[in-house]
Amino acid sequence: MLFFSKMICIVGAVVLLFSITADARIGNSTEPTSYCTETEECLLFDLICNGTEYEVRHYEAAKWVTTEEKSMFKDVAIMKAFKKLFNYITGENEAGVKIPMTAPVLIKVKEEMPFLEPAVYGLSFLLPSAYQDNAPKPTDSTVHLEEMTDMKVYVISYGGWMVGPVSTIYADLLKKALDNVKATYNTDYHYDAGYNSPMKLLNRHNEVWYVVSGAPVCPHVEHPSPSSPAHLSLQKPED
């Protein structure tokens, strides 16, 4: 068994090496329940496992356009960074082309924040499939193209607006759930993932991601309990 799983790992690694230039999984989501509704293309993933507290997903490597901004206030940094990336996709690039918006938009947030000093935040837009392998160079030197490696992430979702304090609450909730099951993850940073434009008022969807390190730990599956109204429909009728 061990031999075979080692062989599979080696074959997997070789396949990975040769597939680095293959298309990342970006496209039209066919899931009827998808929250990725505002852009033509989204980053697709494989669901490894799911529970009430968090999901575990696998994302293949993909190319993004990224910039960093520094501020005392997260929302100020993100606004400035958003303007720079928006300029890139609306023509501030060497080819002068307009590039369609995609989802999600990722914000990279360091876990250790300097006390009473400005902090650096990263913002990334996913490049659409047509630009994955030939994205034009940004003309703004503070904007750069970046490949994010293949990764597994722990995900918690929430509605409403992804303002600074709210996303921190959900990051803490996810961290607590992961620590409870002794899951290991990258503790240097997390991502806030946004799927909606500010114009969308209802059914907004946001996420917090922690990057899995080591083997992913699936969430405990909660068994339906008679006291929980959410599960009433699962109860058998009384004899």
Ligand X SMILES: *[C@@H]1O[C@H](CO)[C@@H](O)[C@H](O)[C@H]1NC(C)=O
State the residues that interact with ligand X by CB under 6 A: 28, 40, 47, 50, 52, 55
Whichever of 121 and 170 has its CB closer to ligand X, that residue is 170
CB 194 within 8 Å of CB 105: yes
**What does the angle CA 79 – CA 85 – CA 90 come to, to the nearest 5 degrees?**
120
Whichever of 89 and 143 has its CB closer to ligand X, that residue is 89
Residues β-bridged to residue 43: 26
Distance CA 81, CA 212 (A): 26
Whichever of 157 and 168 has its CB closer to ligand X, that residue is 157
Whichever of 50 and 186 has its CB closer to ligand X, that residue is 50
Q: Which of 30, 36, 182, 174 is nearest to 105 (CA)?
A: 36
Distance CA 208, CA 190 (A): 7
To ligand X, the closest distance from the beta carbon of 55 in angstroms equals 5
To ligand X, the closest distance from the beta carbon of 193 in angstroms equals 13
Distance CA 135, CA 144 (A): 11
Whichever of 198 and 229 has its CB closer to ligand X, that residue is 229
To ligand X, the closest distance from the beta carbon of 48 in angstroms equals 10
To ligand X, the closest distance from the beta carbon of 75 in angstroms equals 27
Distance CA 178, CA 51 (A): 12
To ligand X, the closest distance from the beta carbon of 66 in angstroms equals 25
Token pair 């907004």: residue: 204
Distance CA 128, CA 109 (A): 24
